[in-house]
Amino acid sequence: MSNGSLGWRDIKPGAVVTEPGSAAAYKTGDWRSLRPIWDHTRCVKCGMCELFCPEGCVFQNDEGYFEADLSYCKGCGICARECWTGAITMVEEEE
């Protein structure tokens, strides 16, 4: 059901929201105009990019490298700015 079609009968008492973390359904990735790219030759897998991500959308993949979940990444570039080995660059999103 899309949010716009909720009727008053669909509202729980007190308009309480009982599904934790349900806002994850809202993808903020389309806010982005820049995208982070990791250079694995420079990455030391320290995880500073993960820690400094305001979205909490940087994660460690099976190989131990970090990447951003692009469905949420807003492209702020803090990860690139704070990466002390310079492993991350921000590139323009193409249309």
Partner 1 sequence: METFSVYVPKLAPKYEGLVPGHRFCIGCGEALAVRLASKALGRDTVITCATGCLEICTSGFPQTSWNVPWIHTLFENVGAVASGVESGLKAQMRKGKIPEKKINSVGMAGDGGTSDIGLQALSGALERGHDFLYLCFDNEAYMNTGVQRSSATPYGASTTTSPAGKVSIGQKTWKKNLPDIVAAHNIPYVATACPSYPFDLMEKVKKGAETEGPAYVHIFSPCPTGWRYPVDLTVRIGRLAVESGVFPLYEVEDGSYKLNFDFPKLRPVRDYLKAQGRFRHLSDDEIQNIQQRVEKEYKKLKVRCQET
Partner 2 sequence: MAKRTPLEVSVAVAEAAKMADVDVVAAYPITPQTHIVETLAEMVANGELNANYIPVESEHSAMSACLGSSATGARTFTSSAGQGLELMHETLYIGPSSRLPMVMSVCNRALSGPLSVWGDHSDAMAVRDTGWIQVFVENGQQAFDHILWAFRVSEDHQVLFPVMVHHDGFHLTHVIEPITLPEQEEVDRFLPKPRYPYALHPDNPVSMGCYAPPFIYSEIKRAQDEAFRSPEVKQSILKAWEDFGNIFGRYYMPVEAYRTEGAKVLLVTMGSFSETAMVAVDNKRDEGKDVGIIRLRLWRPFPYEEVRDLVKDADIVLVLDRCISPGAQAPVYSEIRSCLYQEENRPQVFSFTGGLGGRDIVVDDFEQMIDKGFEMLQNGSEKEFEIIGVRE
Task: Check: CB of residue 58 under 8 Å from CB of residue 31.
Answer: no
Q: What is the DSSP string of 25-73?
A: GS--GGG-SEEEEE-TTT-----HHHHT-SS--EEE-TTS-EEE-TTT-
Quick one: which of 37, 40, 60, 93 contacts partner 1 (CB under 8 A)? Answer: 60
25 binds partner 2 (CB under 8 A): no
Quick one: which of 37, 44, 86, 91 contacts partner 1 (CB under 8 A)? Answer: 44
What is the nearest approach in angstroms of partner 1 to the Cβ of residue 58?
A: 10
Interface residues toward partner 2, by CB under 8 A? 3-4, 6-11, 13-18, 20
